[in-house]
Structure 1
Amino acid sequence: MDFSSDAKTEDGRKWNLKVASWNINGIRAWLQKDGTSYIKAESPDVMCLQETKCDTSKIPKNCEVEGYHCYWLSGDQEGYSGVGMMTKKEPIKVSYGIDVAEHDKEGRVITAEFEKYFVVTAYIPNSGRGLPRLEYRTKQWDVDFIAYLKKLDAKKPVILCGDLNVAHLDIDLKNPKTNKKTAGFTPQEREGFTNLLQEGFVDSFRKLYPKKEAAYTFWAYFMNNRAKDCGWRLDYFVISERLTKDLCDSVIRKYVLGSDHCPVVFLANIS
């Protein structure tokens, strides 16, 4: 695939920063599907991975791509959650978690500080089938995570990416009417995302493509959903409002295979 782009800001500046994000649904399975070939073809400045499902001590060596510094985080439970980040340029600082022990034991967030911005990769908790974790997700995680992002944003702009486990708008999933009580589309989860945006953050894709339909990033494996394009938009680039002037494009790589999610890509001119 051709991943080249001539995207520019509204005032005509060509992109000079590319960040990519992908929920790979298990790093070992992803490697078996030659997942690193995507990174080599896309060549992002920062590559963020979610749901690695692997203890950091067991990360396979062949997942590391030449030319990148690699950072990994796993939770206490083996084979669950986990995130990773690869950067061409070594960050000023890398932080793990959000400084709340109850959340951090699940290994969900890595933050890299660069000269002019933070990149945060996150795998947001799923409320679960039957919604057993809905209250935890909305009353605890969402509140604490927004507070964490605001603290970063007070220092320098934030680029948040990852599987945020919510389809915010009706057009962000194929069947909104039948999923009102499904994890990822409950009123409470959607409200949590709205609350984030109201704190000075912007959904970069919807900023550029407010009415674009069938823009999905996840397709459940059952019932041939991907072939039918019966999906959800769960993967995002959410940016500090003051970065919107630098936004060039926000792209969904829907034809890249290797997981039940596809990669998403953020292009900006930040100089």
Structure 2
Amino acid sequence: MKIISWNIDSLNAALTSDSNRAILSREVLIKLNALQADVIAIQETKLSAKGPTKKHKKVIEELFPNYQIAWRSSQEPARKGYAGTMFMYKKDLKAEVSYPEISCPHPMDYEGRIMTLEFADFYLTNVYTPNAGSELKRLEDRQNWDEKYADYLVCLDQVKPVIATGDFNVAHKEIDLAHPDRNHFSAGFTDEERQGFTNLLNKGFTDTFRHLHGPVEGVYTWWAQRVRTSKQNNSGWRIDYFLVSDRIADKVQRSEMIDSGERQDHTPILLEIDL
């Protein structure tokens, strides 16, 4: 099975805007369709509470004619047009879609952050983890989220193996970002968030990229948009992951990043696994 994951930072803009960034985003979407993955997991769709419009669906159908979609948007009392997740998966696949709530701090359960596909032999779950925020104002809530999310994955894993993907908003080790010395008190690299990710792995999950590639340096999934030269200088962070249940780690064949060209922010990631 081939799976792609991408924090698109506004599917709405990618499908409807004529800005240079939107054009670059559509070029990436065209590239993803050419790869013909079985499933594409999207984070940060920023769609309305009603989900994709007719125009969105028309463009998706044109770009991805062999796929069906399932989506989850931010709902009141959470912010409108915020966060959100989506699955695009081949029309011939049989999967049960669920929209879990994990009793995390309000209003995170309303922000459309988790979707799960249940297949006959495994679960595939898509997550957009909350950011700890400016001045780490949401760090305590983020720690609570990390505990609840780990418990959720453990519950799934007790039934059948799990593949968990998405934007986890944490660089786990110093090797996972270009400038660890400058960022120990930055959202996404605090001791608390890194420990939360360690705790998750210790509950029976494998970081597939490190499993296959070991301590390779300079490989990232996100470059800050606000720093124009961040991608040119490869001043990035690895915050997007494919995790799998430990017992299926040996079935992973590929776990890598997909080149998104000039476009900064997140780049898509790819997993191939023989299940």
Moved more, 222-231 or 128-137: 222-231
Give the match for residue 182 of structure 2.
178
Q: How far off its partner does 1:255 sit?
A: 3.7
Paired with 1:54 and 1:179, the residues of 2 have a C-alpha distance of 31
Paired with 2:271 and 2:262, the residues of 1 have a C-alpha distance of 19
Name which of 59, 63, 72 aligns with 2:60. Answer: 63
> 1:192-203, aligned counterparts within 5 Å?
192-203=196-207
Moved more, 228-237 or 25-34: 25-34
> 1:89-168, aligned counterparts within 5 Å?
89-100=92-103, 102=106, 103-138=108-143, 140-168=144-172
Check whether the contact 1:25–1:259 (CA below 8 A) recurs between aligned residues.
no
Percent of paired sites with the same residue:
39
Aligned length: 253
Per-residue Cα deviation, 1:202-247 (whole angstroms, up to 9, x for no partner): 0000111121111100000122211111000010001100111211
Per-residue Cα deviation, 1:170-202 (whole angstroms, up to 9, x for no partner): 010000001000000000000000000100000
Paired with 1:42 and 1:259, the residues of 2 have a C-alpha distance of 21
Amino acid at match of 1:43: Q
- 1:131/1:256 Cα in 2 relative to 1: closer, same or farther (>3 Å)? same
Give the match for residue 192 of structure 2.
188
Q: How far off its partner does 1:254 sit?
A: 3.3
Paired with 2:133 and 2:3, the residues of 1 have a C-alpha distance of 29
Name which of 10, 18, 21 aligns with 2:5. Answer: 21
Paired with 2:152 and 2:182, the residues of 1 have a C-alpha distance of 33
Q: How far off its partner does 1:92 sit?
A: 3.2
- 1:127/1:92 Cα in 2 relative to 1: closer, same or farther (>3 Å)? same
Amino acid at match of 2:225: Y
Q: TM-score, normalised by structure 1?
A: 0.89
Give the match for residue 19 of structure 2.
none
Check whether the contact 1:69–1:90 (CA below 8 A) recurs between aligned residues.
no
Paired with 1:257 and 1:237, the residues of 2 have a C-alpha distance of 23
Paired with 1:128 and 1:112, the residues of 2 have a C-alpha distance of 29
Which residues of structure 2 form unaligned runs of 5+?
Answer: 16-21
Paired with 2:85 and 2:260, the residues of 1 have a C-alpha distance of 23
Amino acid at match of 2:236: G
Which residues of structure 1 form unaligned runs of 5+?
Answer: 1-16
Q: TM-score, normalised by structure 2?
A: 0.88
Greater relative contact order (CA < 8 Å, ≥ 6 in sequence) = 1
Check whether the contact 2:51–2:73 (CA below 8 A) recurs between aligned residues.
no
1:248 aligns with 2:247: no
Amino acid at match of 1:71: A
| Corresponding residue SS for 1:244 | helix
Paired with 2:263 and 2:129, the residues of 1 have a C-alpha distance of 20
Give the match for residue 13 of structure 1.
none
Runs of 4+ in structure 1 off by over 2 angstroms are: 28-33, 89-92, 97-103, 254-259
Paired with 1:196 and 1:229, the residues of 2 have a C-alpha distance of 28
Check whether the contact 1:149–1:158 (CA below 8 A) recurs between aligned residues.
yes
Check whether the contact 1:217–1:254 (CA below 8 A) recurs between aligned residues.
no
Check whether the contact 1:98–1:148 (CA below 8 A) recurs between aligned residues.
no
1:204 aligns with 2:203: no
